[in-house]
Amino acid sequence: MLSLAPPTRPRGRGLRSRSLLAALCALLVAAALTPTAAAEPTQDWTRGEPRLVTPWTHDVSPDNALPEYPRPQLTRAQWHNLNGVWEFAGASEGDRPPFGETLPERILVPYPTESALSGIQRHEDHMWYRRTFHVPDQWRIGEHNRLKLHFGAVDHAATVYVNGHEVASHEGGYGAFSADVTDALTSSGEQEIVVGVTDRTDATWQPVGKQRRVPDRGIFYESASGIWQTVWMEPVPAGHVDTLDMVPDLDSSTLRLTVNTEGDTDGMTVEAVVRDGRRVVSRTQGAPDEPLELSVPDAKLWSPDSPFLYELDVVLRDRHRPVDEVSSYFGMREIGTALGEDGRLRITLNGEVLFLLSTLDQGYWPDGIYTAPTDEALRWDLEQHKRLGFNTVRKHIKTEPDRWYYHADRLGLLVWQDMPSMRTGERPPAHAAERFETELHELVEQKKNWTSIIGWVPFNEGWGEWSREDTGRIAEEVAAQDPTRLVNAHSGVNCCDSLGDSGAGHVIDWHAYVGPATPMPDETRVSIDGEHGGFGLEVDGHMWFGEGHAYQMLPDSDSLTAAYVDNQRAVLQAARSCAISGAVYTQLTDVEHEVNGFFTYDRQVEKMDFDAVREVNEEIIAGADGSGDGGTEPGPGTPGLDGVHAYPFDDGSGSVATDAVGDADATLTGAEWTDGVRGGAVSFDGAGEVDTGAALVDTAGDYSVSAWVRLDEAGDGFQTVVSQDTGTDSAFFLQYSGQDQRWAFSYAGLRALSSEKPEPGRWYHLTGVRDARAGTLSLYVDGEPAEHESACTPQEGSGNTVIGRAQYGGEQVDHLRGDVDEVRVFDRALTKEEVAELARS
């Protein structure tokens, strides 16, 4: 049954209050009451008409456009919110700034220009923002203090002027930036801000995530241009605290803190006070811009079940006189990896195996696009994760305002943070790659203090990727920049535009729809399902386009719930059998044409039975404990290099090929006898087969298949040497992959490939090895290892083993054009030494 959310707004679960949270809330409420100096006249602003309204759409007005304190990890008592109605105008490249001019339109900041909440509801490549403001006299700017102007995020390139003076420029739609505007101020009265913005979205190579100038009614959506996070200002001393670096260390029960300062702080000291409510945990003094160790004895650890946060007060002193005071908070937690009871590498939180059960969270809104209509709405999305039994969020190809991470910290949600990708479809030029890396490192630097963030994801499915080697280098550089978190170099490395596995980072991540994906961990990297699911349901009156799509559509809520539960039970089995450490379900809400959410895009309708969702999710987290499934180990198999079946093809005539080891003589159809590597061979001309008449391979266990093969041609078509039928797709393929123009040992959709294209007319020795315990497919060419691919789940098939063709979609396909000799089948995984000996013999 579909559940309609309450008509005013949905409500999530409350959390146990803590003194830190109460103190921060009091500060934020008081700060929110600071008057916002809106541009005049506000009555000229009119909200646009969104296609869908959320429960918070009509709560937004010029007087309360995201009034909350925007930087919860570094708070000061005095500040001023500059959100509200600004003047606005579209522009052309090269236009002069409109200093002192009244612009013709009104926009509600900080909502993107394309959004209904902005009041503009269209895209502009170039645009101007303008407003005026007053500086409170009590801030004593110029006499004792400086004035800082802050922008949460502007998409994409911004230049900021105060009273006609350029004070800041910034490129990148996801990073915060600030400017000291003191020297640009007039002595009194009204001050003018003009902001010029250029955002050409996917007409350039700038990182855009899912934004498109023309949405595709698929997986790419409306663009979100201009100012889309809070604009605000605050007074700071000439020498002041700029940022805090905070790294919890559970082994020493300390917080490593660096108080980074700006301005003249020579000779000053800092004092850092850790509090648990009103109780002082420790006091530490030291020098600014130098690492400090703050004692946190008997630390209360942060986790999804107990998201405890310590308060932190920092005072910058000149001798004994306080110069600057800021407040913050932190959680004591540690993400890592360790062997589970089954001997496979798993993700750990605070030293204990924890399965990271996540949604794919796109962070889109039908009324605000990139910007949630209210802070309550921003928090509500995260609260639903807890309600549904998830402990993790994958923030997909987007970033969020600081308050989103603050809410995740408070609620106890782990976060995979993606880097917004460049556009898809091509490989980016060098200047774009350099820009991407700059913005990636800015993202990591600005968000590395959030307790909730436990992993960075530079690339997704090869979107905007330009080099597998550079992907590996970037993963290593991000790990060096932030050694306290996991780096998932490439989510969906098995998919789409990916250039392949770089081998770098801490995570092997596959996507599979409907899945789940089942990569196996290796010796140094854990494995996760980075995306799966995507079950969809259309809900009349709650769809962006009036209709939608998903990876698998269901007719009603009951069948949707049943599909989800069955799919998640497969996730639990993958955790036990394949040792995946996490899974990401697509997705929290519908987005535009995608209708595969738990909620409709407007957050008005619950599409599944949430009690059933929560029950299976909690079962996964409890059951995926690293102990494995207790399955039986594959047997040792038959020793020696003769195999259990062998076809030397020395018969030379007739329609039967003798099995020289076993009793499965094979029947030739449409194949001819020819000369082989030694003695005879069989030849195929794009048709025919050699059918052994039996299933020679137990595809659920260990096996190896080898053959000598010589191609007549190496073009774009697939050509299979040995396979085993299933009725649909072959259980395995020892083949030439025309798509890759390489030798391959494959499952449908997964290939271990050779490094070079084969030469027609030359004999090659191929060996494919399936190691069930390791969960791998391995290809060897002429006795040398070519590639290993993670493949936990076997492709089961009890049909006949066949030489010279494959089966795909139930059809006989991929016929060989060439010659085959000395096919051998083994009931065990050969070692690399045995493969080398087999090729030599």
Q: Is the pLDDT of residue 264 over 50?
A: yes
Which neighbouring-strand residues pair with 709?
Answer: 764, 820
pLDDT for 632 equals 62
Backbone angles phi, psi at 273, to 5 degrees: -120, 120
pLDDT for 39 equals 41
pLDDT for 346 equals 98
pLDDT for 790 equals 80
More confident residue, 515 or 593: 593
Backbone angles phi, psi at 444, to 5 degrees: -60, -45
Nearest to 517 by CA among 582, 469, 561: 582
pLDDT 10s digits, 661-695:
999 999 999 999 999 998 999 999 999 999 999 99
Q: With bands split at pLDDT 50, 70 and 90, how would you rate the model's confidence at 631?
A: low
pLDDT for 762 equals 98
Q: Return mean pLDDT, the chain.
A: 93
pLDDT 10s digits, 183-233:
999 988 999 999 999 999 999 999 999 999 999 999 999 999 999 999 999
Q: Is the pLDDT of residue 30 over 60?
A: no
pLDDT for 379 equals 98
Summarize the confidence of residues 13-23 as an average pLDDT: 35
Q: What letter represents residue 442's amino acid?
A: E
Contacts with 794 (C-beta within 8 Å, 6 or more apart), sequence order: 699, 700, 701, 731, 770, 772
pLDDT for 34 equals 40
Q: Note if the bond before 156 is cis, omega within 30 degrees.
A: yes
Q: Which helix H or strand E contains 742, and what residues bound it?
A: strand 742-747
Q: Is the pLDDT of residue 27 over 60?
A: no
Contacts with 197 (C-beta within 8 Å, 6 or more apart), sequence order: 126, 127, 128, 129, 154, 155, 156, 157, 158, 225, 226, 227
Contact 465, 497 (CB under 8 A): yes
Q: Is the pLDDT of residue 609 over 60?
A: yes
Lowest pLDDT segment from 34-48, 448-462, 707-721: 34-48
What are the CA-CA distances from residue 764 to residues 417, 502, 754 (Å)? 45, 27, 12
**Token pair of 540 as six digits:** 């009349």
Nearest to 2 by CA among 592, 555, 384: 555
Summarize the confidence of residues 736-761 as an average pLDDT: 94
DSSP for 176-194 reads: -EEEE-GGG--SSS-EEEE
Nearest to 12 by CA among 408, 594, 311: 408
More confident residue, 88 or 44: 88
More confident residue, 841 or 508: 508
Q: Dihedral sign, CA of 398, 401, 402, 405?
A: negative
pLDDT 10s digits, 548-561:
999 999 999 999 99
* Percentage, residues of the chain above pLDDT 70: 95
Q: Is the pLDDT of residue 8 over 50?
A: no
pLDDT for 143 equals 82
Q: pTM for the complete prediction?
A: 0.88
Q: Is the pLDDT of residue 732 over 80?
A: yes
pLDDT for 458 equals 98
Contact 531, 511 (CB under 8 A): yes
Lowest pLDDT segment from 319-323, 433-437, 469-473: 319-323
Q: Is the pLDDT of residue 19 over 90?
A: no
pLDDT for 797 equals 81
pLDDT 10s digits, 153-166:
999 999 999 999 99
pLDDT for 795 equals 77
- Strands annotated E in 75-190: 80-81, 84-90, 105-109, 126-133, 145-151, 154-155, 157-162, 165-171, 177-180
Q: With bands split at pLDDT 50, 70 and 90, how would you rate the model's confidence at 629?
A: confident
Q: Is the pLDDT of residue 4 over 80?
A: no
What number of residues does the chain have?
841
pLDDT 10s digits, 52-109:
999 999 999 999 999 999 999 999 999 999 999 999 999 999 999 999 999 999 999 9
Residue with tokens 């993606």: 418
Contact 75, 326 (CB under 8 A): yes
| CA dist., res. 645 & res. 660, Å (int) | 7
What are the CA-CA distances from residue 203 to residues 173, 678, 740 (Å)? 15, 60, 30
